[in-house]
Amino acid sequence: MIIRDKPGLLQLLFSVRGSVLPKILPRVAFVTAFAAGLVWVDLNVLRLPHTNAAPFAVFGIALSLFLGFRNNAAHDRWWEGRKLWGKLIADMRSLARDAEIFVPDRADRHRLLTLALGFIHAHRLNLRQLPSRAAPANWLSEGDLKTPHPPCTKLNQMTEVVAAAAPDGFARRALAERIGSIALAQAGCERIATTPLPYVYSLLIFRTTYLYCGLIPFGLMDTAGWLTPVFVAIMAYIFIGLAEVTEELAHPFGETVNGLPLDAMCRTIEISLAPHLDMPTPAPLKADRFYLS
């Protein structure tokens, strides 16, 4: 995620970090070169069919509405992912306080919270489909990562600790409900990660965008002449750029610049649980060139 203060005019115009421009530049350049080639052919080789821009105005409005709908759907996924991780942070903090109340043995409390930190990191690795070498060795063992579903393995181990360490039925019930709330947020995140937006949306958006950018020079050549490629480049940047932003937002747990900062949120949980584990409080993660992972 890009974290920065309100940028000035020059930063807005020339900032590259956090922009989709590096990803879409080859496509925008291709569309612009195609428009320039059409203008050259029209002026020097063969007069091409010309039309006015009115049909393309209607076409553009329809395309922008569809892009807006898809962008809203993608942003809903991104925001729901952030809310679910906010719930995980709150549940982890509450679990630590519940353990102080309901688990009298200090070693059992530490075991429970250590497993909770192992769960949150296993959950992060699972959502991002990261290899086992990316796992933090202090919270996850090699054996944990070889199980069919490491996050659920850690939750099962937490349940076993609660069953053995909680002194009575009320304590076990309270801690079990907390673990159930954590599992519910976990399932919500996995639902988002494993259920992408329908492929037909992407197919229709990209086909329509390129069709629009490829046809609009015929409506501009009469009035714009050699400025036609400039206008096509601007429209390609808008439509292709918005489609690319939507692709990133639709996958909120990825490591793109617009993905959620899962590493930083895991560190937030470590900071919250450190006093309960009698450990030094780690420093919060900071943005690297405005990017918070």
Tens digit of each residue's pLDDT (9 = 90 or more) over 61-107: 777 787 888 888 899 999 999 999 999 999 999 999 999 999 999 99
Give pLDDT, residue 23: 84
Sign of the torsion angle spanned by Cα atoms 163, 165, 167, 172 = negative
Confidence of residue 5 (pLDDT cuts 50, 70, 90): low
Give pLDDT, residue 106: 92
Asked if the model's pLDDT at residue 180 lies above 80, the reply is yes
Burial state string for 122-141 with b = 16 or more CB within 10 A and e = fewer than 16: bbbbbbbeeeeeebeeebbe
Greater model confidence, 99 or 137:
99
Max avg pLDDT among 61-65, 109-113, 132-136: 109-113
Distance, in Å, from the CA atom of 154 to the CA atom of 30, rounded to the nearest integer, reads 49
pTM above 0.85, yes or no: yes
Give pLDDT, residue 115: 94
Cβ 212 vs Cβ 63: under 8 Å: yes
* Type of residue at 54: A
Q: Mean pLDDT throughout 125-142?
A: 83
φ/ψ of residue 5, rounded to 5: -70, 170
Among residues of the chain, what percentage have pLDDT more than 70?
93
- Average model confidence (pLDDT) across the chain: 86
Greater model confidence, 33 or 205:
33
Asked if the model's pLDDT at residue 16 lies above 80, the reply is no
Burial state string for 186-197 with b = 16 or more CB within 10 A and e = fewer than 16: bebbbebbeeeb
Give pLDDT, residue 45: 81
- What SS3 class is residue 291? strand
* Cα–Cα separations (whole angstroms), residue 217 to 173, 205, 226: 68, 19, 10
- Token duo for residue 142: 């090699």
Tens digit of each residue's pLDDT (9 = 90 or more) over 244-278: 888 888 889 988 888 889 999 999 999 999 999 99
Helical segments of the chain, H only: 9-14, 21-44, 54-102, 106-128, 142-145, 150-165, 169-194, 199-215, 217-224, 228-249, 262-273
Q: Mean pLDDT throughout 151-157?
A: 93
The residues facing 67 across adjacent strands are none
Distance, in Å, from the CA atom of 224 to the CA atom of 152, rounded to the nearest integer, reads 61
- Token duo for residue 95: 């679990």
Give pLDDT, residue 50: 78
- Token duo for residue 256: 């793109």
Q: Mean pLDDT throughout 98-125?
A: 93
